[in-house]
Amino acid sequence: MIGVMRALIARDLQLAARVGGSGALSLVFFLMIVALVPFALGPDLNLLSRIGPAILWLAAVLATLIGLDRLFQADEEDGSLDLMTGAPAPMEMVVLAKVVAHWLTTGLPLALASPLFGLLVALDGTAMGATALTLLVGTPALTFIGAVGAALTASIRRGGLILAVLVLPLMIPTLIFGVSATEAASGGTVPFTTPLLILSALSLIAAVIGTFAAAAALRWSE
Amino acid sequence: MRLTATNLAARRSGRRIFSGLSFALGPGEALMVTGRNGAGKSTLLSLLAGRLKPDAGTIAVADVGEATLAECLHVVGHRDGLKSPLTAEENLTFARDLLGAPTASPAEALNELGLGHALRLPVAYLSAGQRRRVALARLLVCRRPLWLLDEPTAALDTASQAVLAGLMARHRAEGGLIVAATHQSLGLDDARELRIDEALKPAPAPASGNAADSEVWW
């Protein structure tokens, strides 16, 4: 079972690194959104640093959607999913491995690069660190929630838009607690750990429910 | 292993494809599934592979220990399950690690199919016949007793068809089972034939047909 997961993660990382992989693309998309905001709002540094964490989080939510529609669809189209059905492991393990690989190529780089992008929206040191930490804790929730939508739309052509409509509402709690944790770090009435712990809980819940729901959707879609 | 299917019926998008299919296969036996286009040959293979649920009937396996049917079989179908950006070797290594029970290395398997030179080529550069041969090489990198082949000779040249016939004969000599959907003879000696045709389909339901048959698709 561990061998199955290792094989899947290794292959998906390999694919992300090849031409047409979505790895670097979502990071560039993240950068674009964050870079656009100062142009739209003008050079008001106070305003930018106040809404900076919210912008970074919004950009992260949107960047997570990039490439998510192909998470299961690509395997459904070329028959790899049939191959995975025959693996000596339940579908849940297959889903878990694929989502982990997807997070490693999108969510993790996003969290690591966020301090750098924080410069564009005039964040101070504390806020940069807090944003990176909350993204690190919160992006798994986004990926797992997205995986359910990806599994539901796996056999639909041009399912990307339906996917976004399906999963964006479900990402709202993660967004709320992600932003509020970041804001709590740079002063506020709530201690930093309270929203952060809720955010971790959201990630854990999404990991369990998302894995089972996506596996069920993949079985049901046939 | 031993494979028994009893009274299988399949429905796709609410439409009854076939019903009342029964067959049994023992070690070393092969079954050729024939029938016109759209008769349900691929559907039958999907049922066996566990990608579709039968509408009625049962599929049973025996003598395989604790493994489930899906863990005892190889599928080579129209969708070849190969990733174009990866090389033939990477594709086969992945299949071997995923499916377990490795036997031959990717290089040995490709050599056997006369494709040793394509080991480090991305699959995207290969022709349709060569891709099919890479998919067939998957049969050799790990051992599974049941081979489900959907038109395995599509796009293959005559030399490769002979190689495939040799592989199938060896697999059966080792006690393996083969279920192949095909329009032509595959070089399978004394294979049994299962013909899916109109006779197995229920008569078209009258306007006031029973609920199960008049069910609309949605």
DSSP line for A155-192:
TSTTTHHHHHHHHTGGGHHHHHHHHHHHHHHTS-SS-T
In angstroms, how far is CA B130 from the centroid of its own chain? 18
Note the pLDDT of residue A92: 93
Residue B18: φ, ψ to 5°: -155, 165
- % of chain B residues with pLDDT over 70: 90
B-interface mutation test, from A85, A94, A155, most B Cβ less than 10 A away: A85
Coil/strand/helix, residue A97: helix
Q: Report the sign of the C-alpha dihedral through residues B76, B79, B83, B85, in that order.
A: positive
Is A84 in contact with B80 (Cβ distance < 8 A)? Answer: no
Is B81 in contact with A88 (Cβ distance < 8 A)? Answer: no
Number of domains in chain A: 1
How far separated are the first and last CA of chain A, in Å rounded?
24
Q: Which residues pair with B34 in a beta bridge?
A: B195
Long-range contacts of A185-190 (CB under 8 A, 24+ apart): A185/A126, A185/A127, A185/A129, A185/A130, A186/A124, A186/A126, A186/A127, A186/A130
Mean pLDDT (whole number) for B103-107: 88
Note the pLDDT of residue A58: 93
Coil/strand/helix, residue B178: strand
Note the pLDDT of residue A20: 65
Is B98 in CB contact (< 8 Å) with chain A? yes
- Tokens representing residue B44 in the block: 């039958």
Q: How many Cβ atoms sit within 10 Å of the Cβ of residue A198?
A: 17
Contact A8, A97 (CB under 8 A): yes
A-interface mutation test, from B69, B97, B98, B146, most A Cβ less than 10 A away: B98
Note the pLDDT of residue B198: 56
B101 versus A142: the higher-pLDDT residue is A142
How far separated are the first and last CA of chain B, in Å rounded?
39
pLDDT tens figures, B146-171: 999 998 888 888 888 899 999 999 99
ipTM value: 0.84
Residues of B in contact with A216 (CB under 8 A): none
- Given a cut of 50, the residues of chain A with pLDDT beneath it are none
Is B156 in CB contact (< 8 Å) with chain A? no
Measured in angstroms, the CA of B51 and the nearest CA of chain A are apart by 6
Note the pLDDT of residue A199: 94
CA distance A55 to A76: 34
Note the pLDDT of residue B212: 47
CA distance A108 to A27: 10
Coil/strand/helix, residue B86: coil
Is A79 in contact with B79 (Cβ distance < 8 A)? Answer: yes
Note the pLDDT of residue A112: 92
CA distance B110 to B100: 18
- Tokens representing residue A168 in the block: 């964006």
Q: Burial level of A139, CB count in 10 A (0-12/13-18/19+)?
A: buried
Q: Where are the alpha helices (DSSP H) in B63-215?
A: 88-99, 106-112, 128-141, 158-173, 211-214
At B218, the pLDDT band (50, 70, 90 cuts) reads very low
Measured in angstroms, the CA of B11 and the nearest CA of chain A are apart by 11
Instruction: Say which residue the tokens 């459904």 belong to.
Output: A76
Distances (CA, A) of B20 to A209, B150, B195: 39, 21, 12
Coil/strand/helix, residue B146: strand
CA distance B132 to B78: 9
Coil/strand/helix, residue A99: helix
Contact A199, A137 (CB under 8 A): yes
Residue A175: φ, ψ to 5°: -60, -45
pLDDT tens figures, B107-146: 999 998 888 888 889 999 999 999 999 999 999 998 889 9
Packing angle, helices A45-65 and A107-118, rounded to 10: 170
In angstroms, how far is CA A154 from the centroid of its own chain? 18
The residue range of the domain holding A129 is 2-221
Residue B7: φ, ψ to 5°: 50, 45
Q: What is the mean pLDDT of chain B?
A: 84
At B209, the pLDDT band (50, 70, 90 cuts) reads very low
